Amino acid sequence: MSLNKCLEIFLKYWPSFLLGIKTTLFVSLIGTIIGLLIGLLVGGLRAINVDDNSSKLKKFLKKIFNLISTLYIEIFRGTPMMVQAVFIYYLVYTNIIPWDKVVAAIFVISINTGAYMSEIVRSGIQAVDVGQKEASRALGVSNIDTMLHVILPQAIKNAFPAIGNEFIVNIKDSSVLMIISITELMFQSNSIAGTTYRFSETYFVTACIYLLMTSIASFILHKIEKSLSHTTTSLPQSDTNFSSISLAKEENS
């Protein structure tokens, strides 16, 4: 293997690589976002505790939901995404509708990521101190509003590293989607290698491109993570004189 050859292949075939990069980034980004939405919905509902004084119907629905969501999570975490991709693609293609491959790819990544995200979101919610919920409820804020305004923002912040990690995993693991021959990076690389018969050189270029994409992604995610945490701009300090406490002074002076 020579680096010169690698460069040669890259310079000659860069439009094909570029198309691969575009498709890979597209399906993994959209898939991660939809997966996160699935995770918020499923994980959020899983984290809700039905209390003793809830109605029987609510308890029943919650039980059914828990059962279905557990099945979903176990099945999609417990089987390879490659198998999911071919199975779902051909199942839908032959039995329901001849759908677009990219749509199928996004569907598979989304539903697969959703399974992982559900658990990430659920644990993120459960890690938020119960006092936050109590304080909000004591102010008269409803359960749903408490979830949306107090719990979820903190849960997402806590879980952000894990959520971002799913994106990086998806950039790499979308390579298995070549099995349904969408034009993502791995599929493109296979074509190039097949044309040039330079396997090690081509896949070396491919590996470099993957590494570059994941590095840039993790750099950006790190920046976002930093902006989410409210870093201390000044040290906490306490007032030692109480002159600033003006409460009720006018009325009682």
**Contact yes or no for 45/125 (Cβ under 8 A):** no
Q: Which residues in 55-75 are b (16+ Cβ under 10 Å) and which e?
A: eeeeeeebeeeeeebeebbee
Query: Is residue 250 involved in binding another protein (CB under 8 A)?
Result: no
d(CA 147, CA 125): 9
How many helices (H) and strands (E) the chain has is answered by 10, 0
- Give the one residue of 11, 15, 78, 249 binding another protein; rule: CB under 8 A: 249
Span near another protein by CB under 8 A; candidates 57-65, 92-100, 161-169, 230-238: 230-238
Query: Is residue 135 involved in binding another protein (CB under 8 A)?
Result: yes
* Nearest distance in Å: CB 195, another protein: 53
* Nearest distance in Å: CB 129, another protein: 8
Residues 6+ apart with CB under 8 A from 27: 102, 105, 106, 109, 174, 177, 182, 184
Q: Assign residue 248 a region: left if phi > 0, alpha if psi is -120 to 50, beta otherwise? A: left
Nearer to another protein, 4 or 238 (CB): 238
Nearer to another protein, 146 or 188 (CB): 146
Residue 115's alpha-carbon distances to 79, 201, 236, in angstroms, are 11, 36, 41
Nearer to another protein, 56 or 249 (CB): 249
Nearer to another protein, 95 or 239 (CB): 239
- Give the one residue of 4, 94, 227, 237 binding another protein; rule: CB under 8 A: 237
Binding residues among 24-43 for another protein as defined by CB under 8 A: none
Query: Is residue 153 involved in binding another protein (CB under 8 A)?
Result: yes
Q: What mask, x for binding another protein by CB under 8 A, covers residues 156 to 175?
A: -x------------------
Binding residues among 199-218 for another protein as defined by CB under 8 A: none
Residues 6+ apart with CB under 8 A from 9: 192, 196, 198, 201, 202, 205
Span near another protein by CB under 8 A; candidates 34-42, 113-121, 174-182, 227-235: 227-235
Name the residue among 144, 167, 126, 157 with its Cα closest to residue 35: 167
Instruction: Outline where DSSP puts E strands in the chain.
Output: none
- How many beta carbons lie within 10 A of that of residue 133, not counting itself? 17
What type of residue sits at position 115?
Answer: A
- Give the one residue of 4, 94, 95, 232 binding another protein; rule: CB under 8 A: 232
CA dihedral sign of residues 55, 72, 182, 98: negative
Binding residues among 47-86 for another protein as defined by CB under 8 A: 51-53
Span near another protein by CB under 8 A; candidates 71-79, 172-180, 184-192, 237-245: 237-245
By the criterion CB under 8 A, which residues form the site for another protein?
Answer: 51-53, 129, 131-132, 134-142, 145, 149-150, 153-154, 157, 230, 232-234, 236-240, 242, 244-249, 251-252
